[in-house]
Amino acid sequence: MSIEVRNLVKRFGTLAVCDNLNLTINSGELVALLGPSGSGKTTLLRIIAGLEKADSGSVLFHGDDATRTAVRERNVGFVFQHYALFPQMNIFENVAFGLRVRPRATRPSEAQIRAKVMDLLKLVQLDWLAERYPHQLSGGQRQRIALARALAVEPKVLLLDEPFGALDAKVRKELRRWLRRLHDEMHVTSVFVTHDQDEAMEVADRIVVMNQGRIEQDGSPDQVYDHPATPFVLQFLGDVNLFHGRTGRSAGPHESSADNVVTYVRPHELQILGEARPGALPGRLQQALTVGPNTRLEFRRLDDDSYIDVELPRAEYLALREQLNLEPGSQAWLLPRRVTRFVETPEEPQDPAAMI
């Protein structure tokens, strides 16, 4: 089932939380809504679900306007971070709930319910927990049961709001992989909200990057990472070094000579050299920190005292350290392998009287 969002506007007071959003999610896609806190992700998801009403614009399911369709008729399954399981029901009954509350005419028989629930519990690999109660499960197990419960009614659309938000890093990673597999097996259209760029990059077919109620960019993980449309997207999707400057020969053709250009280089896109080379920046090593398989080096530029971060595989760092005698205090040159440039738009001059 495809989902189409057209000219969607939602305000809370004067704040435009969805500022004229347009978005098409194709049938069978797994899409991440990615953005910082307050960017409007949850509100958009809730409007798609029918839990929140838009001020204007529409949501189409499979081409049909669903704006006025009630939540339970939308055939949507939800998993929310704080959408707890029913504590007084065992796991089996939690998953069976959506089937038991169906109108008599469409309610499956007891045998059908049993078979279906056990199938779902096997799918989430927790059938051995059927008789337990939610408080006897770990956080990760509870989230998997919440997913099984959402899937019990065979939704065409699965909406997930930070489903793994409260879990520790290792469990999150497992559940991501597992969500991806489940999505593919169930042939649903899934939309999930996250503020974690790794989660979005790892799981989604497509990432919709949101900021202040607007869509900054919409594309595959590779597109948004390698070809960010805006400085916001570039900075939100990973660490980056910034260099300010005026337009020179190397800037784009549409820039006036007065434009400020910001050059962005990701830490892993800098090469460390033992001697000067055109385009390389001189810096002094401040410290080296090894985190997992990578080493992060902090350099201080010799020309303006700003900092530059470089990241490289630990083995490469150890080889370089040997080769260049690299240790805190030593000098090296940093050559960008790849840069991204954006022209800074000068801020509109403010009328001081209007600010009082």
Ligand X SMILES: Nc1ncnc2c1ncn2[C@@H]1O[C@H](COP(=O)(O)OP(=O)(O)OP(=O)(O)O)[C@@H](O)[C@H]1O
Does position 163 interact with ligand X (CB under 6 A)? The reply is no
**Binding range to ligand X, per CB under 6 A, among 30-38, 113-121, 177-185, 227-235:** 30-38
Nearer to ligand X (CB atom), residue 17 or residue 151: 17
Q: Work out which of 28, 38, 57, 238 binds ligand X, going by CB under 6 A.
A: 38
Nearer to ligand X (CB atom), residue 214 or residue 268: 214
Does position 232 interact with ligand X (CB under 6 A)? The reply is no
Closest separation in Å from C-beta 341 to ligand X: 29
Closest separation in Å from C-beta 344 to ligand X: 26
Closest separation in Å from C-beta 184 to ligand X: 26
Nearer to ligand X (CB atom), residue 211 or residue 241: 211
Closest separation in Å from C-beta 210 to ligand X: 7
Short-list 1, 18, 2, 9, CA closest to 58? 9
Closest separation in Å from C-beta 243 to ligand X: 30
Q: Dmax of the chain from CA atoms?
A: 79
Q: Work out which of 1, 23, 41, 160 binds ligand X, going by CB under 6 A.
A: 41
Closest separation in Å from C-beta 277 to ligand X: 44
- Residue 242 CA neighbour count, 13 Å, CB half: 12
Does position 39 interact with ligand X (CB under 6 A)? The reply is yes
CB 308 within 8 A of CB 281: yes
Q: Work out which of 3, 5, 8, 40 binds ligand X, going by CB under 6 A.
A: 40
Query: If you search the block for the tokens 């992700």, which residue do you land on?
Result: 41
Does position 35 interact with ligand X (CB under 6 A)? The reply is yes
d(CA 82, CA 102): 24
Does position 307 interact with ligand X (CB under 6 A)? The reply is no
CB 10 within 8 A of CB 47: yes
CB 45 within 8 A of CB 21: no
Strands 189-194 and 157-161, by their bridges, are parallel
Residue spans of beta strands (DSSP E) within the chain: 3-12, 15-25, 30-34, 56-61, 64-65, 76-80, 157-161, 189-194, 206-211, 214-219, 241-246, 260-265, 270-273, 281-291, 294-301, 307-313, 331-336, 340-344
Does position 37 interact with ligand X (CB under 6 A)? The reply is yes
Nearer to ligand X (CB atom), residue 183 or residue 195: 195
Q: What distance, in Å, lies between the first and last C-alpha atoms of the chain?
A: 51
Q: Work out which of 3, 5, 17, 117 binds ligand X, going by CB under 6 A.
A: 17
Binding site for ligand X (CB under 6 A): 12, 17, 35, 37-43, 195
